[in-house]
Amino acid sequence: MNIGILQSAGIAGTVIECALSTPDNDDVFTATIYSKDNGNDKNVGADLKFGNISGIVVAPGSATEFSFDSAMTMYVAERMRLATVFPDKSAEELMESFDRDVLAERINKVWMSLKRDFLVSMPRIALLAPDGMTEDVADTLAAVVAGLSEQGIGVFGPYNTNDYIDRQQFLHFDATLAILDGEAKEVLGAVTDESRTKLLIGIPMVMASTEYGATNDFDASGIVQPAYALRKAVYTVIDVVRCREAYDEGHSDPLPKLYHERRDDSEKVRFAVRKQNNAPENGN
């Protein structure tokens, strides 16, 4: 499997070299480094389209950011997966206008990602309650959860953020969904570290990055942790690619039903009155 890694100038090259220095890498994947220095930074889209690379990872220290209208960011760590419904909204904006359709659509997106990207057969999603939640917002959350549950989507909550962390309730769910960015950061800071991976879900390609963006200040003496985060992001992309291939193969061209129930639904049969047998038994 070939994974594309986007490299910026400066220390990022050293981080990539450190991350890929493990001898067993060649048995699992090969890496194509995209950078201006290599003269191939414009080839990423074409290589994805024609299958030359299976996924993309943005290296630590890179200023490259991808944004898609349909995408959500899912944080993938050792003990939890977490996404945010309204990452760009403030609490005041949310309380003024709460879009239940967007909430339901994004819960569906996380649920589908768990099934296809992680092969979770029956996903369980925990919904966190935003701080300062009004009664109207609470009723809306409860109604959305109830409606999706009736459709067979395993979403539960809303849960108080502090109780959710203190009682380690996240261990009982396949993903956590925060309404606002504040609750998401609170949970991430308490449960995970900076080696977590940022996976884009809801898009056709597999793309991930680390928490070490262009604004992070690290030098050659402190590249071990960013290199470890990059390595985890690469293997997350590999796992997701393999899961998607397995899921798509298992759900493409399914076998037809082997047995069909024989029944006649015509009105003649439905409204027919069964005749009673009034013949005497034993000649009586």
Decide if 94 contacts 180 (C-beta within 8 A): yes
- Helix and strand counts by DSSP (H, E) for the chain: 10, 10
Q: Count the domains in the chain.
A: 2
Q: Taking the model in full, what pTM does it have?
A: 0.81
Decide if 128 contacts 187 (C-beta within 8 A): yes
Which structural domain range is residue 49 located in? 1-67+203-250
Which residues make Cβ contacts (< 8 Å) with residue 238, sequence separation at least 6? 1, 3, 28, 29, 54, 55
CATH of the domain at 212: 3.40.50.2300
For 39-92, how does the pLDDT look when each residue is reduced to its tens digit (9 = 90+)?
Answer: 787 788 888 888 889 999 988 766 556 667 788 999 999 889 999 999 888 888
For 168-223, how does the pLDDT look when each residue is reduced to its tens digit (9 = 90+)?
Answer: 999 999 999 999 988 899 999 899 887 899 999 999 899 998 887 654 555 555 67
Task: Classify residue 178 by its DSSP letter.
Answer: E
- 198 domain residue, yes or no: no
Task: Classify residue 275 by its DSSP letter.
Answer: P
- 149 domain residue, yes or no: yes
Q: How many CB atoms lie within 10 A of CB 11?
A: 19
14 in the same domain as 57 = yes
- 221 domain residue, yes or no: yes
CATH of the domain at 184: 3.40.1010
User: DSSP readout, 81-145?
Assistant: EEEEEETT--HHHHHH---HHHHHHHHHHHHHHHHHHS--SS--EEEEPPTT--HHHHHHHHHHH
Query: Does 267 score more than 50 pLDDT?
Result: no
* Rounded distance between C-alpha atoms, residue 149 and residue 164, angstroms: 20
Q: List beta partners, residue 177.
A: 83, 127
Decide if 237 contacts 208 (C-beta within 8 A): yes
